């Protein structure tokens, strides 16, 4: 079987390696436009901030060694420019020599990822401007910071990547402002959670411009819509991404309402010979059943397993997406699963919410932390619809318990009976998760 994988970062390199394990005799070609493959893009903000001192630690496997040890033809700095579904071929262009050639396939896997959305601003070239999506983007930012030694920056966009960049610029001693069209950071989360994040950022020296946006740029001055002028050495935009679906569109594959490539439970497109995984794949939301697209590494890796299993004749269906996500912000950790309060209202759910705020472990233990948990549940079925948490320690543990509870179809009341591990350094006799269950019984 001839298999061609387009895109060589998280999903592409992983699916190629997993197919080699399940189909040892297959002919596999992995094609990527970057010079690197399988790099840890989630670690890029921490390289920028200097927390990870050696960028090569997230640089992924050496392409030549990857090719040799796994017997996978690996083409870096190459781009697939078109798909001929009838002939089952792709046209490939060498980005260094501009030469083109065709590669045939029996099965084709698209893992083309996303590109950063760039704001439409007058005179954007007046000052250094960056986005962060690729390893090359990261290198460009680090090179600028190391050589130019800027003192100030402005970040547009307060989502997960935006706030991680803000923290890491502050870590490098750069005066940082965050510009948002809305009235709070991390608007995908509940206000009770984002209020805590705002206070943490403010305490660490971040300046904010809410309900505002850049109207134009004059030299190193950002002229804001509300009349303020902000002086800055450089500008970074983190305002979302656009899925790279042009190949799929030109090949006539179905694009869904999320602008992703529509797939079935085995990650197949409407052409059974073509699969789509990662950022571009549109499947279903766990809670609503509606179309959903998730741009997270866990999903790309899981989908790689789904595809390799299907190709090997041992099919496993992909679950609907919960969208579990987590982030570090200075001394805090914050994360969420499922739907937020705002999402649930928009979807018309009849739901209630349990909020628990307390210690993560025994208060008499020297290293104890605090946590705020919010769990949304259906009033009738008592099924958990979504959860969020923020705190100084143990947030990941509690969110992972709640993910397991949701996937196991447990009710919010069942949380009280969970026999969770306890010792003073780690928890309390009644864990915060147990407390959510006890409080739910009163609602």
Q: Which residues are catalytic?
A: 42
Report the distance separating Cα 22 and Cα 20, nearest Å: 6
Report the distance separating Cα 300 and Cα 303, nearest Å: 5
Q: How many residues does the chain have?
A: 443
Report the distance separating Cα 367 and Cα 237, nearest Å: 37
- The strand pairing partners of 294, in sequence order, are none
Report the distance separating Cα 225 and Cα 339, nearest Å: 32
Helix (H, G, I), strand (E, B) or coil at 372: strand
Sorted by sequence, the CB contacts under 8 Å of residue 145 that are 6+ apart come out as: 48, 172, 174
Looking up tokens 């009838």 gives: 86
102: nearest Cα among 114, 94, 113: 94
Cβ contact 145:47 at 8 Å: no
Report the distance separating Cα 292 and Cα 121, nearest Å: 30
Tokens of 31: 């094609």
DSSP state of 255: B
User: To the nearest 10°, the Cα dihedral for 310, 311, 314, 316?
Assistant: -10
Cβ contact 154:236 at 8 Å: yes
Report the distance separating Cα 276 and Cα 6, nearest Å: 10
Q: Are strands 175-179 and 152-156 parallel, antiparallel or unpaired?
A: parallel
280: nearest Cα among 252, 242, 253: 242
Count of Cβ atoms closer than 10 Å to residue 410 Cβ: 19
Count of Cβ atoms closer than 10 Å to residue 325 Cβ: 17
267: nearest Cα among 88, 109, 89: 109
């Amino acid at each position: 079987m001839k298999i061609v994988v387009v895109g060589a970062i998280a999903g592409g390199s992983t699916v190629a390696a997993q197919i080699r394990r399940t189909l040892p005799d297959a002919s596999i070609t992995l094609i990527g436009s970057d010079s690197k493959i399988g790099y840890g893009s989630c670690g890029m903000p921490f390289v920028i901030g200097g927390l990870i001192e050696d960028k090569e630690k997230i640089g992924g496997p050496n392409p030549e060694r990857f090719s040799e040890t796994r017997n996978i033809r690996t083409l870096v700095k190459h781009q697939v420019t078109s798909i001929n579904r009838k002939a089952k071929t792709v046209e490939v262009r060498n980005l260094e020599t501009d030469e083109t050639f065709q590669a045939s396939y029996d099965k084709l896997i698209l893992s083309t990822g996303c590109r950063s959305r760039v704001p439409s601003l007058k005179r954007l070239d007046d000052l250094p401007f960056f986005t962060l999506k690729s390893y090359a983007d990261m290198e460009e930012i680090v090179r600028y910071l190391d050589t130019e030694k800027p003192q100030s920056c402005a970040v547009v966009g307060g989502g997960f990547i935006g706030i991680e960049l803000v923290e890491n610029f502050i870590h490098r001693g750069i005066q940082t402002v965050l510009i948002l069209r809305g009235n709070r950071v991390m608007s995908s989360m509940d206000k009770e959670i984002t209020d805590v994040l705002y206070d943490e950022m403010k305490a660490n020296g971040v300046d904010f411009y809410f309900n505002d946006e850049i109207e134009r740029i004059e030299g190193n001055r950002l002229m804001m819509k509300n009349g303020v002028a902000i002086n800055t050495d450089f500008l970074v935009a983190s305002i979302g991404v656009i899925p790279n679906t042009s190949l799929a569109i030109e090949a006539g594959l179905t694009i869904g309402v999320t602008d992703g490539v529509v797939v079935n439970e085995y990650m197949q497109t409407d052409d059974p010979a073509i699969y789509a995984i990662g950022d571009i794949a549109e499947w279903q939301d766990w809670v609503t059943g509606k179309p959903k697209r998730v741009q997270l590494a866990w999903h790309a890796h899981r989908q790689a397993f789904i595809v390799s299993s299907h190709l090997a004749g041992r099919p496993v269906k992909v679950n609907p997406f919960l969208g579990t996500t987590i982030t570090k912000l200075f001394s805090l950790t914050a994360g969420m699963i499922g739907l937020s309060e705002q999402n649930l209202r928009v979807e018309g759910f009849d739901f209630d919410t349990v909020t628990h705020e307390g210690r993560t472990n025994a208060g008499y233990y020297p290293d104890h932390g605090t946590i705020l948990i919010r769990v949304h549940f259906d009033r009738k079925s008592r099924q958990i619809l979504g959860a969020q948490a923020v705190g100084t320690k143990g947030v990941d543990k509690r969110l992972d318990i709640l993910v397991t509870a949701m996937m196991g179809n447990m009710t919010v009341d069942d949380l009280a009976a969970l026999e969770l591990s306890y010792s003073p350094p780690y928890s309390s006799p009644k864990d915060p998760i147990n407390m959510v269950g006890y409080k739910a019984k009163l609602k």
